[in-house]
Amino acid sequence: MATPAPYRASEERYANLPSFYNRCGRSGILLPKISLGFWHNFGDDAPFERSRAITRHAFDNGITHFDFANNYGVPFGSAERTFGRLMDEDFRPYRDELFISTKAGYDMWPGVYGEWGSRKYLMASLDQSLSRMHLDYVDLFYSHRFDPNTPVEETLQALVDIVRQGKALYVGISNWPLEPLRRAVPYLREHDVPLLIYQGKLNLLNREPIETGILDFCREQGIGFIAYSPLAQGLLTDRYLDGIPSDSRMAKEHFLRSERRTPELLDYLRQLQDEAQTSGRTIAQQALRWVLEQAGVTSVLVGASSVQQLTDNLHAVI
Ligand SMILES: NC(=O)c1ccc[n+]([C@@H]2O[C@H](COP(=O)([O-])OP(=O)(O)OC[C@H]3O[C@@H](n4cnc5c(N)ncnc54)[C@H](OP(=O)(O)O)[C@@H]3O)[C@@H](O)[C@H]2O)c1
């Protein structure tokens, strides 16, 4: 792909206001119903111009929320680095229109300070993320997973102090079980850094946040909920109906294994496809709409390996 012309965001990017945005819990923040995740398809293993085209297309269509973690991309950190280049080349004039999140929690660098929930790790990781993304601050910083061996107050106080330092505007929690989450909410509130949002896996094939009561708890507490892998990494689309495409996530046999493509899943997908077609939708649109219909869900965080996939996903709601 040739280098495209200098970027000017579409004048139409907010044409779908306000139906495209949901309030994030009881906060001042509105998030798009469809947000873009940079876990796959934006690292050094992906063509840069394709990553650029997807990111531009997202923003041109009102997707103001981009989600990262320190370890996104191959190698780790490369998705944030890709975005740093995009900030420099395309998005700097639009910084105040963007809501950018990153996280720390999983294995990031060698040794005993490169993962989990210590103050040492969280602080250092965010500094690294800011430097890779060429940003002074992120809008949202998450604890990416609960650390059973670090006092919960240490992790939470690090989040509070990160906000006090001006390196993040809001804090979030991802993948924590309900019990520590119940302890986190009052702690953060008492320290004047109320929890903005919880990020959890929710899709038609995985309803854990509903079953554990996390989604209800967030709603009751005025905390937003953003659903990750709403398409079950691509399973809930037409991608695998007729086989395993060589350029698909499943073909890599890492995060999405081919044993997930069972006869039962294919039967379910065909049924979903029939339902979708009666309302003129695709499987992906049907799956995204189901997540967005769950009470308390603020946004779905989709991945996309092409502009076409993102367009399909956007049409779930616009
Ligand atoms: N907090 C956490 O622990 C956590 C964990 C996982 C993800 N996340 C966040 O959630 C984001 C999304 O996760 P995800 O990538 O697993 O989401 P997903 O939307 O469930 O899956 C994305 C994949 O599905 C396929 N796809 C998407 N739209 C499609 C369409 N319309 N038609 C056909 N195939 C389509 C593509 O697969 P191909 O690449 O094969 O084309 C795409 O890469 C991540 O980027 C990250 O920001 C957070």
Fold (topology level) of 28-232+283-314: TIM Barrel (3.20.20)
What pLDDT sits at residue 4?
78
Ligand 1 center from residue 85 Cα (angstroms): 22
Q: Which residue has the tokens 């965001």?
A: 9
**Does ligand 1 lie within 6 Å of residue 237's CB atom?**
yes
What is the pTM (predicted TM-score) of this model?
Answer: 0.98
Q: Which atom of ligand 1 is nearest to the CA of 68?
A: 47
How many angstroms separate the CA atoms of 198 and 209, rounded?
10
The protein residue with its alpha carbon nearest to ligand 1, atom 45, reads: 37
Mean pLDDT over all residues of the chain?
97
Is the confidence at residue 263, as pLDDT, over 70? Answer: yes
**Does ligand 1 lie within 6 Å of residue 233's CB atom?**
yes
Ligand 1 center from residue 288 Cα (angstroms): 12
Is the confidence at residue 115, as pLDDT, over 80? Answer: yes
What pLDDT sits at residue 28?
98
The protein residue with its alpha carbon nearest to ligand 1, atom 46, reads: 37
Domain ranges of the chain: 28-232+283-314
What DSSP string runs through the chain? -PPPPPP---TTTTTTTTTTEEE-SSSS-EEESEEEE-SSSSSTTS-HHHHHHHHHHHHHTT--EEE--TT-TTTTTHHHHHHHHHIIIIIGGGGGG-EEEEEE-S--SSSTTSSTT-HHHHHHHHHHHHHHHT-S-EEEEEE-S--TTS-HHHHHHHHHHHHHTTSEEEEEEES--HHHHHHHHHHHHHTT--EEEEEEE-BTTB-HHHHTSHHHHHHHHT-EEEEESTTGGGTTSSTTTTS--TTSTGGGTSSS-GGG--HHHHHHHHHHHHHHHHTT--HHHHHHHHHHHSTT--EEEE--SSHHHHHHHHTTT-
Ligand 1 center from residue 39 Cα (angstroms): 8
Strand pairing category for 30-32 and 21-23: antiparallel
Residue 98 near residue 133, CB atoms below 8 Å: no
The protein residue with its alpha carbon nearest to ligand 1, atom 11, reads: 37
Is the confidence at residue 14, as pLDDT, over 80? Answer: yes
Give the CA distances from residue 61 to residues 68, 123, 287, 293, in Å, rounded to whole numbers and listed in that order.
19, 33, 20, 21
Ligand 1 center from residue 304 Cα (angstroms): 6
| pLDDT-above-70 percentage for the chain | 100
Is the confidence at residue 304, as pLDDT, over 90? Answer: yes
Is the confidence at residue 96, as pLDDT, over 70? Answer: yes
What pLDDT sits at residue 109?
98
**Does ligand 1 lie within 6 Å of residue 302's CB atom?**
yes
Asked if the bond preceding 75 is cis, omega within 30° of 0, the reply is: yes
**Does ligand 1 lie within 6 Å of residue 248's CB atom?**
yes
pLDDT in tens, 200-252: 999 999 999 999 999 999 999 999 999 999 999 999 999 999 999 999 999 99
